Chain A
Amino acid sequence: MQDLLNLFVKSIFIDNMVFAYFLGMCSYIAVSKTVKTSVGLGLAVVFVLFITVPVDFLLNKYVLSPGALSWISPSFKELDLSFLSFIMFIAVIASMVQLVEMVVEKFTPALYSSLGIFLPLIAVNCAILGGSLFMQERELETLAEATVFGLGSGFGWFLAIVVIAAIRERIRYSNVPAPLRGIGITFILTGLLGIAFMSFMGIQL
């Protein structure tokens, strides 16, 4: 339990998807003009990561990693399908996003109309595929670890986008030099926020 909590806190602050690894930057910069849209997109990303990382973990463990298919027959012990990971993970993500979209449309149509185009756009958000690939690379051991990692990474991304949206809303009334207006100042701000988050790096959990 202590390990899971450590992993959760680590993936929000120390291994933050945006500030440490720059994943999901495109939609991060495009959507962060107002806090309202950022909250919507952030929550959607949390939800999608929470669903796809565990499913990809099971897929990796029982189908893709070397010798994984030995539960079908012992002759498959040397089979290594990990080169198919990219295409399988993307397929899982795209179908999960489609599923989530259909469920949200059926049960909470208000949320669906406020998210609009952003829900299908999450399928190509680097943060989602990145979450699964990091889970595979770091060889997380159990399903619980994978779930906690997904949830934590999602919350880290959510935190990042809401903070930058809040700052951008206020910066609109400041005297930013004309060539820096818009994305220029956003990059510099994100860099400064990244430096701030680096202060978490020395924490021993």
Chain B
Amino acid sequence: MCYGKQIRASLPVGARIEKERNKKYINMNQEANKKEALFSAKNMELLRKPLNLDNPITVQVLGICSALAVTVKLEPAIVMSISVIVVTAFSNLIISLLRNTIPSRIRIIVQLIVIATLVILVDQVLKAFAYDVSKQLSVFVGLIITNCIIMGRLEAFAMANKPWPAFMDGVGNGLGYGIILIIIAFLRELFGSGTLTIPMVGELRIIPQAFYDMGYENNGMMILPPMALITVGLIIWIQRSRNRVLIEEK
């Protein structure tokens, strides 16, 4: 229709350029407000990246404290991973929902309170349904509060993003943490005791008695704390050799 031509002819040059630019901004805003599919590529990326390239333990160097102490057997490691996934995901969700109403000065205190409440809940659930494991984990369930991964993701992601992506990011980072924990626990228990303890199934003897009769001995060193650190160092070595992009400059 001629309407468009009329507008173009009647406005001075500066105003016409402004109009074009505003139209572009209105389009961009509409793009941003368009609802993103729940499991779109961008959201799945949030789940996938922390598993390898952005792993909380080996790349971001967060959450190491509890990762090393609970990996003597496989069962506490699995329970700890599930607890951390739950706490990270839900605290990300809650803080993301509240992100526009928290005053900046008391930000850290609010985050700590949210995390502490979730951890108390997880601790009580563990004490009720998995008492033996919670005794093995002892203080490390409480130490999830100071687990750097959770605070780190809250500050870096949840404070600036919408609830659903924040939730996915929490689950992704929890999974990345869990994978490393399970690998370390698997190696430590297999070589340190020759067994694998799986929740709800119990202790499975992997190395058959025949090996022991031939003279094979369990590597007692693997059960001790320092080997966990060396195992993580080796995992980092393998991961960085396969992904050259992660290597630090001199």
Contacts and interface: CB of A to CB of B under 8 A. Distances in A.
Interface of A: 19-26, 29-30, 83-87, 90, 94, 120, 123-126, 128-130, 133-134, 137, 177-188, 190-195, 198
B143 A126 contact: yes
Interface in B112-164: 112-113, 116-117, 119-120, 123-124, 138-139, 142-143, 145-148, 151
Given A179-B237, A179-B238, 14 more contacts: A21-B69, A22-B68, A22-B228, A22-B229, A26-B61, A26-B63, A83-B120, A86-B120, A86-B123, A87-B116, A177-B237, A183-B61, A183-B248, A187-B233
Contacts, number: 133
A194 B226 contact: yes
B116 A198 contact: no
Contacts of A29: 61, 64
B38 interface: no
A89 B69 CA distance: 21
Contacts of B227: 191
Contact of B138 (A25, A84, A137): A137
B225 interface: yes
A95 B66 CA distance: 24
Interface of B: 58, 61-66, 68-69, 108-109, 112-113, 116-117, 119-120, 123-124, 138-139, 142-143, 145-148, 151, 224-230, 232-234, 236-241, 247-248, 250
A191 B233 contact: yes
Contacts of B236: 179-180, 183-184, 187
A27 to B, nearest CB: 8
A128 to B, nearest CB: 8
A124 B226 contact: no
B68 to A, nearest CB: 4
Contacts of A190: 226, 229
Contacts of A123: 108, 112
Nearest to A124: B146
Given A124-B148, A129-B143, A184 B237 contact: yes
B229 A137 contact: no
A24 B65 contact: yes
B64 A22 contact: yes
A126 B147 contact: yes
9 contacts: A22-B69, A85-B142, A90-B112, A90-B116, A90-B145, A126-B147, A183-B58, A188-B229, A191-B233
A178 B226 CA distance: 23
